[in-house]
Amino acid sequence: MNLTDKQRALIERIGVFMEKSGMQPAAGRIMGLLYVSDKPELTFDEIREVLGISKSATSNALSMLQHLNRLEYITYSGDRKRYFRLKLDKWRDLVMQGVESITDFSETLHEVVAERTSETKEYNQNLLEVADFLKYLHQELPKLLTAWEQQKK
Amino acid sequence: MNLTDKQRALIERIGVFMEKSGMQPAAGRIMGLLYVSDKPELTFDEIREVLGISKSATSNALSMLQHLNRLEYITYSGDRKRYFRLKLDKWRDLVMQGVESITDFSETLHEVVAERTSETKEYNQNLLEVADFLKYLHQELPKLLTAWEQQKK
DNA sequence: CTTTTAGTTCCTAATTTTGAGAACCAAAAT
DNA sequence: ATTTTGGTTCTCAAAATTAGGAACTAAAAG
């Protein structure tokens, strides 16, 4: 498989974007490749080869991405290779996962306020405000998702 | 200034949370400290001392946090020290900043689809779906924010 | 003008992250 | 039973991140 310059550039751009949100470089490139590749299902060796990375880097990145729920593989009977692909159709779950994590932070904020002096009234108020909005988001985002599904039709 | 064990634990927890979203350790701890500290405005040296980090680490982390718009400092006339504090009241801007960044990604996705083969119809459809939802989010989140402001009253 | 204060920058060391290469392993093919 | 395939794991080195300490700077104080 060979890629155009434009494709390579897109892969890098997506890779860097992923890195910024805490993903390791190789994993980001794999994500990018799977977004861009004309074949959306690639084997271990195709990935390794086209990105020019080692087996270990490939293996580690792939298993991390699977744990993060971004990737899965399928197999075809009579073929031992795994075909890796993005779990694109599950992006709704990922959105919800993200919301959960900020909701965790909201709970931490409540703990913080519980531990704070009551002297700093305005400050505490601000903290609770943030926490409350995060909780609101948690509650409203699913609705937003269904509203979007509706208007899409 | 001395902190309780609970406070220290909260600082670490917040620190780790921040690290996960790509922040450097010292910066995460400083954020944590400012959330937790009874005094919400701390000087350079107070921060350095209570966290037990060097001047350079403190200086670098503080300036990074200021660039990320998480922090600011104020001064008092007749006092040369800077008093650093969280830009807590500006959290709405931060939310919007986050939305902007996912909107950037949405545009990248459009470029990706433009570059893709038209063979993989369903795949391309999925990509556009994600891109479209991100754009929808960009449009709706401000409204959600004002709706929240309303119901708060 | 000299000293002190508050913070920054430079240089370097320690730690962490990342990934290559080889050895390894299990399942399938021969 | 042996070999091949597809992938994992281990060890180690390279590269990047992080932070300590000393030197430095600008402004204020004396």
B50's tokens: 């209570």
pLDDT of residue B23: 94
Mean pLDDT for the stretch of residues A26-31: 98
Q: In chain B, what residues touch A98 (CB-CB under 8 Å)?
A: none
Classify A81 as helix, strand or coil.
Answer: strand
The CA distance from A78 to B72, in Å, is 62
Share above pLDDT 90 across residues of chain A, in percent, rounded to a whole number: 95
Interchain contact A7–B (C-beta under 8 A) = yes
Tell me what the pLDDT averaged over chain A comes to.
96
Classify A74 as helix, strand or coil.
Answer: strand
pLDDT of residue B1: 87
Going residue by residue through chain B (153 aa), what tens digit of pLDDT does each one get? 889 999 999 999 999 999 998 899 999 999 999 999 999 999 999 999 999 999 999 999 999 999 999 999 999 999 999 999 999 999 999 999 999 999 999 999 999 999 999 999 999 999 999 999 999 999 999 999 999 999 988
The CA distance from B112 to B131, in Å, is 10
Classify B53 as helix, strand or coil.
Answer: coil
Q: Where are the alpha helices (DSSP H) in A21-75?
A: 25-36, 44-51, 55-67
B109's tokens: 């996705």
A76's tokens: 């075809």
Interchain contact B13–A (C-beta under 8 A) = yes
Count A/B contacts: CB-CB distance under 8 Å: 98
The answer to whether B132 and B105 have CB atoms below 8 angstroms apart is no
Q: Do the bridges between strand A71-76 and strand B79-86 make them parallel or antiparallel, or are there none, so unpaired? A: unpaired
pLDDT of residue B64: 97
The vertex-A24 CA angle with A21 and A28, nearest 5°, equals 75
The CA distance from B3 to A137, in Å, is 32
The sheet carrying B79-86 orders its strands as: B42-43, B79-86, B71-76
Q: Do B35 and A129 touch (CB under 8 A)?
A: no
In chain A, which ranges are E strands? 42-43, 71-76, 79-86
Q: Do A130 and B88 touch (CB under 8 A)?
A: yes
Q: In chain B, what residues touch A88 (CB-CB under 8 Å)?
A: 123, 126-127, 130
Cβ within 8 Å of A, B 117-146: 117, 119-120, 123, 126-127, 129-130, 132-133, 136-137, 140, 144-145
Q: How far is the CA of A43 from the C1' of C29 (A)?
A: 20
Residue A22, CB, less than 7 Å from strand C? Answer: no
Distance (Å) from the C-alpha of residue A108 to the closest C-alpha of chain B? 8
The answer to whether A53 and A45 have CB atoms below 8 angstroms apart is no
Q: In chain B, what residues touch A133 (CB-CB under 8 Å)?
A: 91, 95, 145, 148
In chain B the first and final C-alpha atoms are separated, in Å, by 37
Classify A79 as helix, strand or coil.
Answer: strand
Q: Which residue reads 């002096």 in tokens?
A: A117
pLDDT of residue A152: 87
Domain boundaries, chain A: 5-86, 90-152
Select from A95, A115, A137, A146 the residue whose CB has the most chain B CBs within 10 Å, as the one to mutate to test that interface: A115
Tens of pLDDT, residues A83-138? 999 999 999 999 999 999 999 999 999 999 999 999 999 999 999 999 999 999 99
The answer to whether A136 and A103 have CB atoms below 8 angstroms apart is no
> Residue A45 pLDDT more than 90?
yes
B86 φ, ψ (degrees, to nearest 5):
-65, 145
Report the CATH fold assignment for B5-86.
Arc Repressor Mutant, subunit A (1.10.10)
The vertex-B99 CA angle with B96 and B101, nearest 5°, equals 115
Classify B2 as helix, strand or coil.
Answer: coil
Confidence tier at A81 by pLDDT (50, 70, 90): very high
Interchain contact A21–B (C-beta under 8 A) = yes
The CA distance from A87 to A68, in Å, is 10
A107 φ, ψ (degrees, to nearest 5):
-70, -40
